[in-house]
């Protein structure tokens, strides 16, 4: 089962990189969201996938008697979900503000520092 998750993580990373290399801001934002999910799934896969065994010590025992899932990756993923959601919300507001000011979501047309009606700067000295 971990091989399938490893393949899925690879697909998520591929899709995320493809989307982040786009010229359009909305595709970049979707790429960042998919990248966050890929990293979360990678951490989850690295923490041993055991559906039958809980990540806690049961009863009055002081140590684990058998194999158990690692609770640390699960805690890290919960924290990462909150952080990635707030980061995505920030990027969404930032891109919406840029879209309102510049009236485009194409990054090639957002070149405010290089107006089209002025000559290009010198390329050498």
pLDDT one digit per residue (tens) for the chain, 125 residues:
678 888 999 999 999 999 999 999 999 999 999 999 999 999 888 776 666 666 667 677 777 777 777 778 888 899 999 999 999 999 999 999 999 988 888 888 887 777 677 777 788 87
**Residue 114: Cβ-neighbour burial (10 angstroms; 0-12, 13-18, 19+):** exposed
Question: 0.95 exceeded by the pTM?
Answer: no
Give the per-residue pLDDT at 39: 93
- Report if residue 78 sits inside a domain: yes
**Residue 38: Cβ-neighbour burial (10 angstroms; 0-12, 13-18, 19+):** buried
3-state secondary structure of 96: helix
How many distinct structural domains can be found in the chain? 1
- Report if residue 124 sits inside a domain: no
Give the per-residue pLDDT at 89: 95
- Report if residue 46 sits inside a domain: yes
> What domain range includes position 90?
2-51+69-104
- Report if residue 119 sits inside a domain: no
- Report if residue 64 sits inside a domain: no
């Amino acid at each position: 089962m971990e091989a399938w998750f490893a393949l899925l993580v690879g697909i998520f990373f591929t899709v995320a990189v493809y989307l982040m290399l786009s010229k359009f801001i909305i595709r970049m934002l979707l790429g960042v969201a998919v990248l966050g999910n890929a990293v979360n799934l990678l951490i989850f896969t690295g923490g041993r996938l055991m559906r039958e065994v809980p990540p806690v010590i049961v009863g009055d025992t002081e140590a684990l008697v058998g194999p158990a899932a690692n609770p640390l990756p699960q805690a890290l993923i919960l924290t990462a979900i909150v952080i990635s959601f707030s980061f995505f919300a920030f990027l969404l507001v930032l891109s919406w503000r840029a879209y309102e000011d510049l009236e485009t979501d194409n990054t090639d047309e957002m070149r405010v520092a290089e107006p089209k009606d002025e000559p290009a700067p010198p390329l050498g000295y």
